Amino acid sequence: MSIIDLTSMGEPQSEQRKELNDRLTKLQDEISDYCFQCARCTSGCEAHKLLELEPHKIVALLKRGLINELVNADVIWTCMTCLKCRERCPQRVAPVEILFALKNIAVANGKQIPGKYTAMLQSILSIGLIQDIQQTTTRTNKTVKREELGLPPLSKPTDVAKFQAGIMKIAMEKV
Amino acid sequence: MKKKYALFPGCLMPTEQYAYELSIRETLPLLDVELVDVEGFSCCGEPMKSVNQLLTLYLSARNLAIAQKHHLDLFVPCAMCHLALTECQHILEKNPAMKDRINDMLVAEDLAYTEKRHIVHTVDLLHDEIGVQKIKEHVKKPLQGVKIAVHYGCHILRPRELGRPDDSENPQKIEAILKALGAEPVNYPQKLDCCGAPLLANLPESALTKTGQKLQAIQEQGIQGLVDVCPWCHKMFDSRQTKAGETVAAKLDVPVVYLTQLLGVAFGLSAEKLGLDLNLSPVEKLQLEAAK
Ligand code: SF4
Ligand code: SF4
């Protein structure tokens, strides 16, 4: 199994892509309708000042049906998932969830996954965790490893083949 | 009465944030919490939410199913993992079709999700399950004179509708625990600001700027230090503090400790047992050893 199965979602995953699109359409038709553009989400947005993310504008663009533009915009990847927009929206719109859906579609459409996400995914596929045991250093620059600290063995999938078989089903799933 | 939980370690704590794990394993048993190590857990799935939410849900569900197989409730010290598992349970309980679908996939590992587990984080375990009174009774060396700011972490506070360990806008449980230890929690305007960690995967510079801004604000207000309860937040505030300082052109010098480390110091445990030499920030400035 490769990462491609889970991300670019080639033919076998067309159902999943359809499902993602349905989810967005639902967000567009039902949820974004409630939004009255009060911009309360943007006023508390953690990514707003630093990276110019404006969640209320994301919702407005979605309402206008500009899904392709949104999916291809780099700004959707600046959300810090602080969840304040979801918490504070008087209309229960949850821009953070819209952003997750948009990013998922970007990935499903084969857009390049930014940064270290690919490496993390690869690591999950091979050992079940986003990274293996790291050597760390103390304040006085001594290197230490997990086992030297008397900590028990790492909990991770014991039968990797079976674990991968489960994940494989997500890549291949028909709804 | 003894409380028993499977310790769900997640990815970050057991692979690099050893001080959190050490201090958890040293302190909680003193408070009659039995931590059970269970084989086979994986990533909670939260780091993959931007890539594929179904994968997130699947990974969370398989971890819940493993806990269920052992008839155990879950203690989840990471804020991200805690949200992922809680949200997954919420979805599976509310949406039978999704539950069936996930269970069809879990068959590959002979697992199934059929019943709810109790899922706690460090903050509600200490404050709600164990209780401030009991914590107080175990204090041998009150942390007198330790004036410290608190960082909760976004994912243990929101979204409220899923039931989170503390209040989303005015959390006070860590403050209550700190007072029981004899320390003085300090309020500050940036208390609810994000640590920046979720951007580490794709925009590390911005992530560190976020971290730097919060630490700088704490430093400028003359606050002695910062306490946190999540391996991601701690990675940013402690492990990456020097780098975070560079992004805001400041020489940062803020001691950052895990709540469970402070707990241990107040209970009279040694710095070594609590992994205090693993903190890269200048924790010696807190003069915890001198605490009486
Ligand atoms: S807070 Fe809610 S209603 Fe207001 S602009 Fe944002 S999404 Fe729309
Ligand atoms: S979750 Fe994302 S979009 Fe919402 S307020 Fe936080 S950073 Fe902004």
Tell me, what's the ipTM? Answer: 0.95
User: Could you count the other beta carbons within 10 Å of the beta carbon of residue A88?
Assistant: 16
Interface probe, candidates A3, A81, A123, A159, chain B, greatest B C-beta count within 10 A: A81
Domain check: are A8 and A92 in the same one? yes
pLDDT class of A87 with cuts at 50, 70, 90: very high
Q: Report the separation in Å between the CA atom of A74 and the middle of ligand 2, taken as the mean of its atom positions.
A: 15
Domain boundary among B96, B120, B144: B120
Domain boundary among B64, B89, B120: B120
CATH number at residue B267: 3.40.50.11810
Q: Is the Cβ–Cβ distance between B195 and B229 less than 8 Å? A: no
pLDDT at A14: 61
Length of chain B: 292
CATH number at residue A94: 1.10.1060
Report whether residue A48 contacts ligand 1, using a CB cutoff of 6 Å.
Answer: no
Domain check: are A51 and A7 in the same one? yes
Domain check: are B207 and B281 in the same one? yes
Q: What is the pLDDT of residues B151-173, one digit of tens each?
A: 999 999 999 999 999 999 999 99
Domain check: are A26 and A66 in the same one? yes
Amino acid letter, A109: N
pLDDT at A27: 77
Q: Report the separation in Å between the CA atom of B200 and the middle of ligand 2, taken as the mean of its atom positions.
A: 15
Q: Give the closest residue (by CA) to ligand 2 atom 2.
A: A79
Amino acid letter, B50: S
Domain extent at residue A78: 3-108
Q: How far apart are CA A115 and CA A9, in angstroms?
A: 19
Query: Which residues, numbered 99 to 128 in chain A, qualify as contacts with chain B under a Cβ-Cβ cut-off of 8 Å?
Result: 100-101, 103-104, 107-108, 113-117, 120-121, 124, 128
Among residues B120, B206, B198, the alpha carbon closest in space to that of B156 is found at B120
Domain extent at residue B77: 3-120
Residue B57 maps to a domain: yes
Domain check: are A94 and A125 in the same one? no
Domain check: are B201 and B143 in the same one? yes
pLDDT < 70 positions in chain B: 290-292
Domain check: are A101 and A127 in the same one? no
Q: What is the pLDDT of residues A22-71, one digit of tens each?
A: 877 777 777 777 899 999 999 999 999 899 999 999 999 998 889 899 99
Q: Is the Cβ–Cβ distance between A73 and A114 less than 8 Å? A: no
Q: Into how many domains does chain A fold?
A: 2
pLDDT at B18: 98
Q: In this prediction, what percent of chain A has a pLDDT beyond 70? A: 88
